[in-house]
Amino acid sequence: MADNLAPHWRLRAQRYQLVGNVCLKCDAKFFPPRQVCAKCRGTEFDLFQFSGRGELYSFTTLRSAPAGFEQYAPYSVGMIKLDEGPMVEAMLTDVNEDKLTIGMRVEMVTRKIREEDGERGLLVYGYKFRPSDA
Amino acid sequence: MRDVSIIGIGQTPVREHWEKDLRQLATAAVLAALQDAHVDQVDAIYVGNMLSGELTRQEHLGALIADQLGMSGVAAMKVEAACGAGGSAVHAGYLAIASGQYRRVAVVGVEKMTDLWNGSVTAGLAMAADGEYEAANGISFVGLNALMMRRYMYEYDLVEEDFAPFALNAHKNAVHNPNAMFRKSVTLEQFTKAKKVADPISLFDASPVCDGAAALILSRSENLNGNAARAVAIQASALATDTLALHDRQDPLWLRAVELSSIKAYAQAGVTPQDINLFELHDAFSIVAPMSLEAAGFAPRGAGTYLARDGGISLYGKLPISTMGGLKARGHPIGASGVYQVVEATQQLRGEAGKNQVPNARIAMTQSLGGVAATAATHILKGKN
Amino acid sequence: MKPKREVGIVGYGAYVPRYRIKASEIARVWGGADDGLPIEEKAVPGLDEDTITMSVEAARNALARAQIDPRTLRAVWVGSESHPYAVKPSSTLVAEALGASGAILAGDWQFACKAGTEAMQAAIALVGSEMTDYALAIGMDTAQGRPHDALEYTAGAGGGAYIMGPAENALAVLEGSYSYVTDTPDFFRRAYQHYPEHGNRFTGEPAYFAHTLAATQNFLELMQLTPRDFQWAIFHQPNAKFPLQAAAQLGFTRDQVAPGLLVNKIGNTYAGAALIGMTNVLDNAKPGDRILLVSFGSGAGSDAFSYVVTDKILERRDLAKRTAWYTARRELIDYARYARFRNKLVMN
């Protein structure tokens, strides 16, 4: 039997499409979506799909990976300031670490994030970011 | 509210304790604290711990430790707030007495980390951050701190070497602390040549994976059981929180929970940052030190590293920090660190810090942080002299 | 074959991963190639890429050019011989990522290198029968060749995605299509095997050439067209030699074939090969140009299509990254990194 199917499945809209939400009261946009607005504590929202475009706020390259990610190490991760406002953290792909700079334009791509349970388990897909001109 | 005092302290050395498990470490620390306080019973036990379930397949630490101490029957519970579990347990213990409910309680912080290999520990520690949006993207805890440090260096035009004084100071102070993990000083050259773990964070910017336990006996100040001469008063115990995920912060370079809990603590104790004689801060990574100094009001924004120049943070400096080695060199057994800080501050205020004694230490502050400072537990302690 | 309703390509998109390995590097490891190097270099997917992720990006490019709401798609079909799961569709994930899941057909196609054009035929039929307005067909592969096998030099990664829809909204209108299939065991991979087996020279004359030529010749005859009526022709390209040879035998010139011939730079992208040749042609074609697209899949069969480019292409082709953007980005890797990326290192 495979574990952890539902938790990954629940997040598919966030992982595959960067679906967050927007507060109907104060227009603040959130990724991931929230139940209570962090700005005005409003509780009514519309879903909002982010464009996936933004700029690199910060980055690093991990030499040793958490369990489940060993096969990808070393890999770079970053904080991305989306054009619509919110920040996301994600792995960076299709880029050599010496080319990373703060402020560089990046775009969302859908990639394999990890494999559950080696060759038997679920393949987990989600957002990563790459330089827009990569 | 009743006044609360520390009447006993105990600690195990911070090590890779291959021969000791979690219950042995915690029990040893509490026994030492009971002995130090010359008492043999408490009304309640608060266990600060983060990862016992994940790393040692053991939860329900309250009942476990009470049982191991031969105190089954007392109130006991685990307090978890990631790396801030220790400070949060002290806060819980403080409230238990301040509320009038209990007369005497034990607080013990314990973490047993070395039974699993590095990747599992890294994955465990990542649970301090947002599991679905940080850890699930392969971002480790050191990774989050590296993201902050890179941006901090960019904003304030700093280089890695500007952070060296924090690591060098911690290692220097650990030399004379028999309970510290790394009792060796580090040179600037070693620091600059150190291997990067997650650039710009190098090996000497990060605290180690280790085991340890530290304990306190807290009592109503009105009845100190003959411990009046050595008792240390808890003048403030303040907890505050920030967004769990770094990416949810309006300003990722400002530790809001540190600011809030510090302000609350200063108000409770009726002091200002200028009154603090030493500060045990949460230097799990070098970057956290300057950011804590800023948010706690010891340095202007972006100027935290300046404070560390020219021995400003040494035992004889303007604001001694990490006086027994800090998380960096004493070691950072996650849920225990916040209690070690209070134990060490008590040693300083009692005048029992040996070669690491801060001259004229009268008021000490400790600050235990959980996650990327999503929890901040600040304590202000006052000694007798 | 021609649908009742006029159908065309309303959106298309390419994908090629950024890593390349030179054929000469592979030859270095194995002490030289037997019959010279079949191509210059091939594209290699990164550690986080597979047919699903590559399909998603190509399909997003197609959607951007189609300028349609993804919820109007009624089919997402992915043709590949390298679906990441043996059981569980690639297509459902692709549909979800596009925002097209729900009231939609989805399925994975397998017909060696013809799986993508087979999906295209089906998408044409679905739209042409007026069952729906829009259907997405993808041909994408991260092909594997056994180390030291001739296929290792050519097995590349990439492909194309096509949204088929009503001709009024098309960038290129379908004139007709044809399919020619026999049972010819030139190349196969049994269940649970990592690498395919191939019949060496048996893959040539009785397989690639027999089907490619038969499909093209029969199709041209039915359509009453000759090679001179086409500005461009794309043939399946397992190596640099076969498509040029087939084109010559059919009477097409090198100039007609050149823009659709990417195998030398990205390798044989299997189910994606003919389709990504087509994306590059569409990137560069003029309104009015007639394009011949002929695939070949082992097992074996060929699909042939004739499209005429419309003037809508001028305003829509730059709404997504061009094929040349993908072929131009290039990070050269050595055999050691290639072995790591392609899961050829035995770790336990």
Claim to verify: residue C188 and residue C167 sit in the same structural domain: no
Give the one of B120, B151, B249 whose C-beta lies nearest to A67's C-beta. Answer: B120
Say if residue B118's pLDDT is above 90: no
Q: What pLDDT sits at residue A134? A: 59
Taking CB atoms and an 8 Å cutoff, what residues of chain B touch A91? 137-139
Both C271 and C330 in one domain: the answer is no
Closest-CA residue of B relative to A90 is: B137
A14 part of contact set with chain C, CB < 8 Å: no
Looking at the fold, whether C97 and C71 belong to one and the same domain comes out as yes
Considering the domain boundaries, does residue C336 fall inside one?
yes
Instruction: Say if residues C273 and C143 touch (Cβ distance below 8 Å).
Output: no
Please state the separation of Cα A25 from the chain's center in Å: 26
- CB under 8 Å to C23, separation ≥6 — which residues? C33, C37, C38, C39, C40, C41, C42, C153, C154
pLDDT tens for residues B292-345? 999 999 999 999 999 999 899 999 999 999 999 999 999 999 999 999 999 999
The C-alpha angle with vertex B83 and arms to B81 and B86, in degrees rounded to 5, equals 70
The whole-number pLDDT of residue A118 equals: 78
User: Given pLDDT bands bounded at 50, 70 and 90, which one contains residue B98?
Assistant: very high
**Same domain, yes or no: C148 and C164:** yes
ipTM of this complex prediction, to 2 decimal places: 0.96
Residue C23 shares a structural domain with residue C52: yes
Cβ–Cβ gap B139/A70 under 8 Å:
no
Cβ-Cβ contacts under 8 Å, B248 against chain A: 38, 87
**What's the confidence (pLDDT) of residue C35?**
74
Under the banding of pLDDT at 50, 70 and 90, the label for residue B385 is: low
Q: What is the DSSP string of B42-97?
A: -SEEEEE-SSHHHHHS---HHHHHHHHTT-BTBEEEEE-BTBTHHHHHHHHHHHHH
pTM for this model (two decimals): 0.95
**Which of A126, A130, A128, A134 has the alpha carbon at shortest distance from A11?**
A126
Q: Are residues C100 and C89 in the same domain?
A: yes
Low-confidence ranges of chain C (pLDDT < 70): 34, 348
Residues C15 and C162 in one domain: yes
**What tokens were used for B238?**
């303040």
Q: Is C346 within a domain? A: no
For chains A and B, CB pairs below 8 A equal: 107
User: Is C96 in the same domain as C17?
Assistant: yes
Are C250 and C211 within one domain? yes
pLDDT < 50: residue spans in chain A = none
Q: How far is A121 from chain B (nearest CA, A)?
A: 16
> Which domain does C308 fall in, by range?
175-312
Report the pLDDT value the prediction gives residue C346, as an integer from 0 to 100: 81
Q: What are the tens digits of pLDDT across the range B182-208?
A: 999 999 999 999 999 999 999 999 999
Nearest-Cα distance to chain A for C138, in Å, is: 16
In a mutational test of the A interface, the residue from B153, B248, B250, B285 whose CB has the highest number of chain A CBs within 10 Å is B248
Fold (topology level) of A5-16+51-131: OB fold (Dihydrolipoamide Acetyltransferase, E2P) (2.40.50)
Which domains, ranges and CATH numbers included, belong to chain B?
4-117+209-220 (3.40.47.10), 140-205+236-382 (3.40.47.10)
d(CA C78, CA C73): 14
Domain boundaries, chain A: 5-16+51-131
Rounded distance between C-alpha atoms, residue B376 and residue C193, angstroms? 55
> How many C-beta atoms surround the C-beta of residue C333 within 10 A?
18
